[in-house]
Structure 1
């Protein structure tokens, strides 16, 4: 038996549409991260990008369980003294609902140059419309 290492083939990638309406954020993000990485494929190779493009629609209608809307806090730092910024999940969802999904998926991808390449294949949109109809995406039910 020989181990076959997958090679990068851009033409084998698919486009997938995921509807985030009434989906729990963490469970949605883990499925999206798995599709971006290609772990659902038999030819998965950890160091090669073999995953699909994922389009997430209805980002503002995602759910959080418990009291996370008020208790979950997203931090960022400007790099200057006293430059710590904090925003709750509710406020971030009102201002930029795409960012909640993007941050959740980014937390589940590797933190290296492959992960930075994979996160670019994630497209998140607030409403149910998206500009990727030309790619003929298939709908994925989670």
Structure 2
């Protein structure tokens, strides 16, 4: 049940990351455009009371860049967590595949050992040598082709 919960969480995270990948540039550009437009409009409003100096504009630009940097660092953090979760999922899938492959190899080796025992007993009882390279693997098991060497 825990594995199913992890998969659901990963699917949710995948949707969030897709949304972020699709919209991050648009959000950043809109943020910069609106804040610069706001600075421009506010410079006309406050120009009557106070002069808009380069120092004031520099402070606002620093604030805008700080907001953008914070937003991008949050996106980067989500991406790193997402990549970590995806890596863990891929590792678990690989491990499961390797375990299944190992079971198949062990079962195949057991069948080969059983066939060698049967072939060895028959060759001892008949006094002939049986070529082991004539045992051919089949999808449904093993087929033995006895060819006696004299």
The structure with more helix, counted as a fraction of residues:
2
The structure with more strand, counted as a fraction of residues:
1
TM-score by length of 1: 0.22
Higher radius of gyration, 1 or 2:
2
Tell me: higher relative CO, structure 1 or 2? Use CA pairs within 8 A at least 6 residues apart. Answer: 1
